[in-house]
Amino acid sequence: MSGSHEKLYHSVEEKHFVSSGLNDFKDTEWATQTMRAGWDTQGIYPSGEDGTHINGVWKTQDGSMVLTGDDFGLFNVYNYPVCDNTHEARSYCGHSEHVVRTVSNKDASRVYSVGGNDKTIIQWKRK
């Protein structure tokens, strides 16, 4: 994603920018989903926010949830997909500030959040 919040596509094999990437790859199933910009994550931004407070995004491998970490020290859980702002997150606090990354294990029974300044990793158990 560019600084202008654009999804940019590049061919690694051909070593060049693919200007038609959005159309060419629209039905591609990716191994992971960590992009903040996408039709399936556009609801992770509260109304009026510019999106810079979201530091990390992770779609669980079972495809049931989107996890985000933000500048407010919150780890947020959304049902996947998050197509608009009507979806409310279940938010959990445990870090002092800046959750820089969120990931899950394969079946999403355990989720991990990584703090920035507090340098901690918290393991969360899914109920």
24-74 tens-digit pLDDT: 877 777 777 777 777 788 888 866 667 778 898 999 998 899 999 999 999
Q: What would the mean pLDDT of 101-107 be, rounded to a whole number?
A: 93
* Structural domain for 51, as ranges: 31-125
Residue 7 inside a domain? The answer is no
Provide the whole-model pTM. Answer: 0.80
pLDDT band at residue 101 under the 50/70/90 scheme: very high
Distance of CA 126 to the CA centre of its chain: 18
Whether 114 has a pLDDT exceeding 60, the answer reads: yes
Residue 3 inside a domain? The answer is no
Residue 114 inside a domain? The answer is yes
Please, how many CA atoms are within 13 Å of residue 76, restricted to the half-sphere of its CB?
A: 26
Residue 14 inside a domain? The answer is no
Residue 21 inside a domain? The answer is no
Residue 2 inside a domain? The answer is no
Residue 20 inside a domain? The answer is no
Domain count, the chain: 1
Whole-number pLDDT of residue 107? 92
Residue 75 inside a domain? The answer is yes
Asked if residues 71 and 95 have their Cβ atoms less than 8 Å apart, the reply is: no
Whether 97 has a pLDDT exceeding 80, the answer reads: yes
In the structure encoding, which two tokens stand for residue 77, read together? 């859980």
